[in-house]
Amino acid sequence: MRIAPDSFLKRILFLGPSVIVTGSIVGSGSIALSPLLGAAAGFSLLWWILLSLWSKPLIQAEISRYVVATKKTFLESFAEMPGPKTNFNNKQASWLVWFMFIGVIPSVAGMGGLIGAVAESGYLMISIISVETWVLLLCVITWLILYIGGYQSLEKILLAMVFTFSIVTLIIAIAMQSTPFSIQAVDILGGLSFKFPTEHTALALAVFGFTGISYGEIMAYTYWCKEKGYSNHDGDPKQVRNWIKTMQTDVWITVFLVTIGTIPFFLLGASILNSQGLYPPPNGDIIQTLLVMFTSILGEWARWFFIPLTFFVLFSTFLSGTAAFTRTISDYFISMGLIVEKASTRQTLIHYIAFLIPAFSCLAYFILPNPILLLMIAGIWAALGLPIVNIGALYLVNKLDKELQPSNLTKIILTITLVFQLGIAGLLIFSQMS
Is 88 in a helix, a strand, or coil? strand
Q: How far is CA 337 from CA 73, 105, 330, 348, 349, in A?
A: 14, 20, 11, 16, 14
Asked whether the beta carbons of 157 and 319 are under 8 A apart, the reply is yes
Q: pLDDT for 150-208, tens place per residue?
A: 545 655 666 666 667 667 777 877 888 888 899 999 999 999 998 888 888 888 888 88
Angle made by CA atoms 10, 11, 12, in degrees to the nearest 5: 90
Stated pTM of the model: 0.85
Between helix 408-433 and helix 201-210 the angle, nearest 10°, is 150
Q: For position 151, what pLDDT does the model report?
A: 47
**CB atoms closer than 10 angstroms to residue 247:** 27
- Identify the segments of the chain with pLDDT beneath 70: 1, 23-29, 149-163, 165-166, 428-434
Per-residue model confidence (pLDDT) at position 217: 83
Asked if 336 and 96 count as a contact pair (C-beta separation under 8 A), the reply is no
Q: Is 44 helix (H, G, I), strand (E, B) or coil?
A: helix
Q: What's the pLDDT score for residue 398?
A: 93
Q: How far apart are CA 69 and CA 403, in angstroms?
A: 11
How many Å apart are CA 24 and CA 29, to the nearest integer?
Answer: 9
Q: Count the neighbouring beta carbons within 10 Å of the beta carbon of residue 425.
A: 16
What are the pLDDT digits (tens) for 6-38? 888 888 888 878 777 776 666 666 777 899 999
Rounded Cα gap, residues 326 and 314, in angstroms: 19
Helices (H), 79-150: 95-102, 104-125, 131-148
Domains of the chain are: 8-433 (1.10.4160)
Residue type at 56?
A: K
Rounded CA-CA distance 90/394 in Å is 26
